[in-house]
Amino acid sequence: MDKIVVHGGHPVSGAVRISGSKNSALPILAATLLTKEPCVIHRVPDLSDVHYMLQILNRLGADVERASGVVTVRAEMVETIAPYDIVRKMRASVCVLGPLLGREKEATVSLPGGCVIGDRPIDLHLKGFEALGAAVRVHAGNVKVFAPELKGAKISLKGKFGTTVLGTDNVLMASVLADGVTVIEDAACEPEVVDLANFLNKMGARIEGAGTSRIVVEGVKELHSAEHEVIPDRIEAGTFLIAGAIAGREVTVTRARYDHLTAVTSALEACGFNIVGTNGAVTIRPNGSLHSLSLRTEPYPGFPTDMQAQMCALLATAKGDSMITENIFPQRFMHVSELKRMGAAIELDGATANIRGVNALSGAPVMASDLRASAALVLAGLQAEGQTEINRVYHIDRGYELIDEKLCSLGAQIERVKV
């Protein structure tokens, strides 16, 4: 098991290239199961979550080839059971349910694992499958869905805490081969859903409205091969912009989509930073002192829950009082206790973190609890006085491709240590 050691106080500057989106790549790879013909996916990030997904595809019978960020999948024959020994490692593995149900009219998948950030049920996924005509059975830790045929239906995916991105992906993939028209109301509007829909349309699906709350799918008989490039990872881009805000002189993220980052860039501008961007590169520059801020996480295009922990790290040293309310995963504050070990003054009130800015953080041994908490602790270490040791960093390898090497290329003093 590795740990990351950050030596604080070293400014960062320069340009860093953003990888393909994890949250796009995973469902797109799952969608290759919908056809017997080969599919070629470009800009697939080198992440542990992606490795697990490729293992799942292989266990389901697909031939998988990978070279330099390009993955080719040929699923001529597929199994319909995804076993626990692989599925337990990654929550997003549940997204093979939709394509297996769509193609084979049945699927059995173990209930997924993943980050410990609160309750993340898949009830909306199953509700969508039932609306398409599938029967659902949950027994002994497994979910089984099956149907003699799938028929188009009107489906609402509105949940307690808003829309479901993975649920939208799953129902979308199941519906493309259903008989008739499916209307998905209260669909997630995230760019990753749009990316999946664009890939499915390249395969011959007929999908309209992706990126809005109402998606219309006209079912087709079969899909065919397609080639696709995954969109840039907006969460990785946002994380490096915050690295620039915390310790930067001037940092540019390249191969990034500025239009996907407006909630993050608006928050950083409100904190006093100058942002300049195009749909190719975004630059952050210091612009005086760091201001406090109040914000709420919301479904896209609101401020993303996946950036909440990183903003906590930034605002820990902002002048005045800040407040972050978590509306997506109200329990997603595991990083707060670790930031407090570094001297942050943060108090939780239900789903709200009240942050009183301190003059400086101090390095300390800390423990990563989940993917985005890991990134927040690395960011905090950049500005902390002394040395910060982040343990259990296997979490960060789930969603950030070579984050330590990329930060080093900007001038940060970071090392990965085997323990």
pLDDT digits 0-9 by tens, 366-381: 999 999 999 999 999 9
Q: How far apart are CA 107 and CA 309, in angstroms?
A: 35
Domain residue limits, the chain: 2-18+232-418, 22-226
Distance of CA 18 to the CA centre of its chain: 14
Q: How far apart are CA 262 and CA 38, in angstroms?
A: 36
- Determine contact, residues 227/39, Cβ cutoff 8 Å: yes
The superfamily in CATH containing domain 22-226 is: Enolpyruvate transferase domain (3.65.10.10)
Please name which of 234, 222, 355 lies closest in space to residue 302, comparing C-alpha atoms.
Answer: 234
Place of tokens 């905090």: 380
Q: What percent of the chain has pLDDT over 90?
A: 87
Please name which of 85, 87, 84, 65 lies closest in space to residue 75, comparing C-alpha atoms.
Answer: 65
Q: How far apart are CA 403 and CA 419, in angstroms?
A: 19
CA angle, corner 31, sides to 122 and 140, nearest 5? 35
* The pLDDT value given to residue 116: 41
Buried b (16+ CB within 10 A) or exposed e, 60-73: bebebeeeebebbb
Q: Residue 324 is encoded by which pair of tokens? A: 């972050």
pLDDT digits (tens, 9 = 90+) for 289-303: 899 999 999 999 999
Q: How far apart are CA 100 and CA 107, in angstroms?
A: 6
What letter would DSSP give residue 95?
A: G
Locate all alpha helices (DSSP H) within 228-295, ordered by sequence.
234-247, 262-270
Dihedral (C-alpha) 202, 304, 46, 76: value to the nearest 10 degrees? -30
Place of tokens 């297996």: 100
Model-level pTM? 0.96
The series of mean pLDDT values per 10 residues for the chain, 419 residues long, is: 94 97 98 98 96 95 96 97 83 92 95 50 91 93 93 94 91 98 98 98 98 98 98 98 95 97 98 93 92 97 97 97 95 95 98 97 96 97 97 93 97 94
C-alpha distances out from residue 322 to 7, 29, 96, 287, 291, Å: 26, 39, 40, 19, 9
Q: How far apart are CA 331 and CA 314, in angstroms?
A: 20
* The pLDDT value given to residue 273: 96
Q: Which residues are catalytic?
A: 115
Looking at this protein, which amino acid is placed at residue 294? S
- State phi, psi for 163 to the nearest 5 degrees: -85, 165
Rg (CA), the chain: 21
Q: Which fold has domain 2-18+232-418?
A: UDP-n-acetylglucosamine1-carboxyvinyl-transferase; Chain (3.65.10)
Q: How far apart are CA 21 and CA 310, in angstroms?
A: 18
- Are 2-18+232-418 and 22-226 the same fold in CATH? yes
Listed in sequence order, the residues at least 6 apart from 398 whose beta carbon sits closer than 8 Å to its beta carbon are 22, 47, 48, 49, 90, 115, 371
